[in-house]
Chains A and B, each alone.
Chain A
Amino acid sequence: MVVLAAAVLAGVLLIVVLATGWAGSGNTGVTTIDGNAGAVLYTAGHRPLAPEFTGTTLTGSTLSFSSYRGKVVVLNFWGSWCVPCREEASILAAVAAKYQSSGVSFLGVDVRDTTAGALAFAHSFHVTYPSVSDQSSAITLDFTAKVPIAATPTTLVVDRTGHIAGAVFGAVTYPELTAILAKVA
C-alpha cells in the first residue's frame, strides 16, 4: 500500500514538473543587452509588427503612427506622474539630439496623464519631440499584445519597416539605448 502510494505520488510529481517546465519554456529570437533582462533586442525575423495607432498630441493636433514608416522610431511610454520617467527624461533628450541627423525620430506615448501635467513636464525637461495622449492605455494595450509591457516607463525601438526591434523595460540608460540604436539604425 505504501509502495503504491509512493509510486503514484512520484508519478504525479513528475507530470507536474514536466508540465511547468513546458509552460515556462523560453523563447528564441530575443537577446539581452549586457545580460540585463530589462533591455532586449529582437533578431531580424523575430521582430513583432508594431500596431498602427492614431492619437491626439499634447498640443491638440492629430498624429498617425503610420506617418513614421521608413524611419527608425524610439517610442517612449511615459507619464508626468512617474518617477523613473523623470530620471530618464534627460537621457532621452540627449539621445534624441544625438541621433536627430541620422533619421531617428522620437515619439512619446503619454499614459494615464493630463494635458496640463504632461505639458508642464515637457517644459521642465525641454522635451522637443511630440507625445500622443493615451489616457485610457488603449495604445499601450495594443502594444502589450506584441511585447510584454508591464510598467511605465517602457521604451521601444521600431525599425524602418515598422517592426519592433528592441525594447527597454523600465527607465532607459544611455548605454542601453545607444547600443540598441547602433544595431537598428
Chain B
Amino acid sequence: MTDVRAPETDPFDAAAERDDQPRPGPSSPGAAFGLADWLKWLWRQLTSMRIALILLFLLALASVPGSMLPQQGGNPAGVQQYYTSHPALAPWLNRLGLFNVFAAPWFAAIYLLLFASLVGCVVPRTFRLAGSARTLPPRAPRNLARLPRSAEYTTALPPREAVEVAARVLSGRGFRLRRPDDEDWVSAEKGYLREAGNLLFHLALLGVLVSVALGGLFGYKADRLLVQGQGFADTVSALDEWHPGRFVTAADLGPFTIKLNRFDASYVASGQQRGQPSAFDARVTYTEQPGGPARTFDLDVNRPLSVDGAKVYLIGHGYAPQFTVTDGRGHVVYSQATPFVAGASGNFLSEGVVKVPDAQPEQLGFTGVFVPTAVNVGGTLESVFPAADNPVVSLIAYAGNLGEDSGPSQSVYQLDTTAMHRLTTSPQVLAPGQSLKLPDGRGRITFTGYVPWVSLAITHDPGQLPALICGIAALGGLLLSFTIRRRRIFVRARTGPSPGRGTTVQVGGLARTDASGGFEAEFAGLAAELKSAHEQAAPAPSAPPTQRAESAPPAQSAESAPPAQPAESAPPTQPAPPTKPAQQQPAEHRHEGE
C-alpha cells in the first residue's frame, strides 16, 4: 500500500506515527501545566514531522544568502569589494552574519535543532524496531478480502494441511511466522530491514555532522606560494596563511619540506578552446622529516601529495618576473623573482609590486603589470595568450616612504603611495634584459626574466574519512529503505465454499511502505506460488471435485481401501493424499446424491 494512507489507521506500528500531529499544548484545559509538562510539550513539538519539515525548509532558505553574497571563508576579497560598493548596506549584512552564513550562530541553530529533532525521532524508533523485531506478527484478520491485496482459491487439502503448506512456502521465502495451534491461519511478516535502513540513513547524517565538526576542531588549512626553485619547511612562520582548528597547535604540523623544482603549464594553441589550459605539472622534491630521504613527486591539479598526515594540493599558478634594482649608491639592493597575480582580464595579465625599502637615498617602490604575450592594441598593452610567448613588463616608479618601517604589516601585492612621489610620468615598458634608469641618479631597475610560481594548499582533516564512511552508510541506508518493503501476508483456510467441497484458502497482504513499488507483483507471485504448492500437495488429479464425482465410484472405493484413518493425520508431503479426495469424494458424492 502506498504512503498516502493516514497513519492513524495504519495497522503497522500505529505508535510510530504518533508524533505526526502536534500534541495539545498548554492552552488545553486540565491540570496546571508545570515546567516538566512544558518541556515535554516542546520536545514533542521538536520531534514532530511537521517541525522537521519546517526546519528543512529553513535550512534550504538559510543557505540561499550564503551562495548569493560573497562569503568571508571562500572569497574575502569579494567581501571587501562589497563593502566598497555598498558602504551603507554592508555593515548591516555583516551584523546579521550574512558574510559568513555557514558559520553564523543562527545557521548553526537551524541544523542543530534539525539534528536534535532527528535524534529525538530516531532513537525511540530504534528501540521500537528492536521490540517489533522480537514480537510476533499480529493475528490474521477475519476477512482477508478487505485487505488491499487478496486472493482466494480452493484446494483439496484440509484446512490444517493447507495452512501448513502455506507456512512452509512463506517460511521458505524468509517471512517470520505466527501460527496458532488450534486455528487455521498463519500470519507472516517481512522487511524489518527497511526501517533499519531508514534509521541507518538518519544516524549516518548525524555522523556526517560530527565528522565535519571533528575536522573543524582538529584540522587545519594553510597556504603557501612557491616560486620555481624555492622550497619551504612546514612550519607556521613559513606559511602565508594559517587557519588552525580550535584544538590545533603549531606542533601538529608535520616536519616536511617541499621544493618546487619545475612548473610547466601548457595551453591549447588553436581552435575554439584557444587559451584554455590543457595541462599543469609541478615537479617537487620533498622530505618527510629533516634529514630524511628526498623524494620527487609530480603534483597535479587532481593529484595531491600526501605527506605526514597532511595533503598538499596544487591550487593555482602565475608568473614571477625577476628584477634587479641598483640604488643611487650603486649597491644592488634587490634581486629576486617577484610573484605577480593574474587579474580578471584573462590570459594571465598580472599585476604586482616591487618594494625596495633599503634603497639609498630614498626608499623605492614600483607598480608593475606583466603581460605574457603582449600585443599593442590601440596604445594599451593586452595579453592575447596565457603562455609567455612575448613577455613584457610595464612599470611605474615611486620614491619616498613605503610605510614599512613601523606600523602594521602590508600586503606584498599592494603599494601604499601616500608618502611617495612618482618618478616616471608614464608607465615604462621593458622587455626581458632591459633596464629602466631612474631620474636624479636614484639608480635603475632591470627586468631580467621571469619564472613561474605555484600556490599550494596544505590541509589536514581528520573528519574527512569518517565523513566519507558516513556518507556511504547514509546512501546504503537510503537504498535499503527505498527498496525493501515491510509487508504482511495472511493465509486463512476454511472448509468451503460449501461443506465437503474442499478448502477455501484466502490469502491477503498489505505493505506498509512501498517506495519502489512492486508489492502487487510480489503478492501476485506469492499467491500463485501458494496455489501451486497447494496443488502439488493435493492429490495428483487436480480436476475439480465435481468432475471426480462423475467418475466411476468403484474406482474410488478401490482407492479408499488403503489406510483411511492414518491418511487424515499424515503430513501433506506423504503419498497419503490420494486417499483424501477419495475420502471426501464419497461424502460429496453421497451429498450430491441426496
Contacts and interface: CB of A to CB of B under 8 A. Distances in A.
A and B touch in the complex (CB under 8 A): yes
A138 B292 CA distance: 13
B251 A148 contact: yes
Interface string B527-554: 0000000000000000000000000000
A14 interface: no
Interface stretch (B201-209, B408-416, B455-463): B408-416
B332 A116 contact: yes
B250 interface: yes
A97 interface: no
Interface stretch (A57-65, A66-74, A76-84, A100-108): A76-84
Given A80-B357, A148-B249, A151-B236, A117 B333 contact: yes
A136 B230 contact: yes
A81 B333 CA distance: 12
Contacts of B107: none
Nearest to B412: A81
A114 interface: yes
Contacts of B255: 141, 145
Given A112-B238, A116-B336, A117-B358, A138 B257 contact: yes
A141 B405 contact: no
B111 interface: no
Contact of A83 (B238, B335, B359, B408): B408
Contacts of B408: 83
A140 B355 CA distance: 25
B421 interface: no
A136 B258 CA distance: 9
Chain B interface category by residue count: 35 or more
Contacts of A121: 357-358
Interface in B302-331: 324, 327, 331
A38 to B, nearest CB: 14
Contacts of A5: 43, 120, 123
B28 to A, nearest CB: 19
Contacts of A140: 233, 235, 237-238
Contacts of B332: 116
Nearest to B359: A120
A150 interface: yes
Interface residues of A, number: 40
A136 B358 contact: no
Give the one of B231, B236, B257 with max A CB within 10 A.
B236
A151 B333 contact: no
Give the one of A20, A144, A154 with max B CB within 10 A.
A144
A141 B233 contact: yes
A84 B404 CA distance: 8
Interface string A99-143: 000000000000110111101110110000000000111101110
A2 B235 contact: no
A5 B257 CA distance: 49
A160 interface: no
Contacts of A144: 235-237, 250-251
Contacts of B404: 83, 86
A23 interface: yes
Nearest to A143: B235
A83 B410 contact: yes
B290 A111 contact: no
Nearest to A20: B247
A154 B406 contact: no
A155 interface: no
B393 to A, nearest CB: 19
Contact of A80 (B39, B237, B358, B407): B358
A141 B409 contact: no
Contacts of A182: none
Interface string A1-34: 1100100000000000000100110000000000
Interface residues of chain B: helix, strand, loop or mixed (majority): mixed
Nearest to B363: A124
Contact of B259 (A1, A84, A136, A141): A136
Contacts of B360: 124
Contacts of A23: 247
Contacts of B356: 120
A2 B238 contact: no
A84 B409 contact: yes
Contacts of A137: 232-233, 235, 237-238
A83 B336 contact: no
A152 B257 contact: no
Contacts of B120: 5
A135 B259 CA distance: 11
Contact of B237 (A123, A135, A151): A151
B518 interface: no
A83 B407 contact: yes
A116 to B, nearest CB: 4
B223 to A, nearest CB: 14
A148 B233 contact: no
A51 to B, nearest CB: 9
Contacts of A141: 233-235, 238, 255, 257, 290
Contact of A136 (B36, B232, B247, B412): B232
Given A138-B233, A144-B237, A150-B237, A82 B331 contact: no
Interface string B250-273: 110001010100000000000000
A120 B355 CA distance: 12
A135 B230 contact: yes
A82 B235 contact: no
Contacts of A87: 405-406
Nearest to B256: A141
B358 A142 contact: no
A40 to B, nearest CB: 15
B124 interface: yes
A54 to B, nearest CB: 12
Contact of B409 (A2, A82, A154): A82
B23 interface: no
Contacts of B336: 114, 116-117
B50 interface: no
A144 B332 CA distance: 33
B48 to A, nearest CB: 14
Nearest to A112: B238
A22 B345 CA distance: 52
Contacts of A77: 237
Contacts of B233: 136-138, 140-141
A5 B40 CA distance: 12
Given A87-B405, A116-B335, A138-B257, 5 more contacts: A81-B412, A116-B332, A117-B335, A120-B334, A136-B238
16 contacts: A2-B36, A81-B412, A83-B404, A83-B406, A86-B357, A86-B404, A112-B232, A116-B335, A120-B358, A124-B358, A141-B233, A141-B290, A150-B236, A151-B236, A151-B237, A154-B237
Shortest beta-carbon contacts, A-B, top 3: A120-B358, A137-B238, A141-B233
